[in-house]
Amino acid sequence: MAPSPSRSRSVMTLVCAIIHLVGAVQFTFAVFYDWTRVKIPREVQEMGSGFGGKLVYLTFWDAILQAVYFTVCLINDAAGDHSPNPPNPPLIRRIKDYMFAAFAFPIAMFVGVTFWSIMAIDRELVLPKKLDAYFPFWLNHIMHTNIVIFILLEMFLSCRKYPTKKKGLAGLTIFMATYLSWTFVIYYNTNLWVYPVMNVMDWPSRIFFLLAMLAFCLILYLVGDFINNKRWGELLRPEKDKAEIPNPDETLPMTEVDIKDGSV
């Protein structure tokens, strides 16, 4: 006998809660460990050890973001709403849905995709081998691999309603513009760019590089919106829209024209 829909929903809610708990714990621990235990001597690498500390890296920003997001998910699991399309979602559910769309998904995918893509080309540009003695491999995978795995699990196992593109893209643009502006503050104080590849670029190339980063993040937002609609779109449609879909099996009422034409 097939399990009832309510039982299936209960099992899925439990699975999502476990994923949220593991995500919140591991990303919070990663942020704590990286900030307090990973100490790279300035003679080995100045960036990340001097001005701004670990906050110079988008990876660290993202780890904080994921820790906060999965914690919000846990609060929603305990006191929010899990239904696909609630008519009056509580505040914590609205925060959760917006955070995923505007920040958690595009930033996690950006960090993971760009890091491993550049790592495959030349690891010295993102994680020089000399740092292996200070930055443990398991922390590297939490920061650059698990963020992608967990955000994809969240995408496909937990339903959410995306905001309008205007609101979602605006939030992501503000977030990325803040970080990209921060890179200029870092350069002003250290005379070094956060990403080594920018040290060998001229100014037009640097501006193009930063704008390309922003554009890629915005594209990832649209990708997330598309995947979410494909995965959850049927459940997110208002009930009134579903009711308006005609049933081909229903017999249409006769009209006077039908009678005169001898249709019946």
Q: Are 197 and 125 in contact (CB under 8 A)?
A: yes
Residue 98's nearest CA partner among 49, 168, 33 is 168
Identify the H or E element spanning 72.
Answer: helix 58-79
Q: Which of 167-171, 204-208, 259-263 has the lowest mean pLDDT?
A: 259-263
- The sign one gets for the Cα dihedral 175, 85, 27, 153 is negative
pLDDT per position as a tens digit, 63-112: 999 999 999 999 999 999 988 888 899 999 999 999 999 999 999 999 99
Judged against a pLDDT cut of 80, whether residue 51 lies above it is answered with yes
Residue 160 CA: distances (Å) to CA of 81, 83, 157? 10, 9, 10
Cα separation of 187 and 190, whole Å? 5
Residue 4 has a pLDDT of 58
The conformation of residue 224, written as its DSSP 8-state character, comes to H
Residue 123 CA: distances (Å) to CA of 118, 120, 126, 196? 7, 7, 6, 11
Cα separation of 193 and 185, whole Å? 10
Q: Are 68 and 51 in contact (CB under 8 A)?
A: no
All structural domains of the chain with their residue ranges: 8-235
Mean pLDDT computed over 51-60: 94
Percentage of the chain modeled with pLDDT above 70: 87
Cα separation of 227 and 105, whole Å? 11
Judged against a pLDDT cut of 80, whether residue 11 lies above it is answered with yes
Judged against a pLDDT cut of 60, whether residue 243 lies above it is answered with no
pTM for this structure? 0.88
Q: Nearest 5°: phi and psi at 247?
A: -95, 115
Residue 263 has a pLDDT of 45
Residue 46's nearest CA partner among 148, 156, 190 is 190
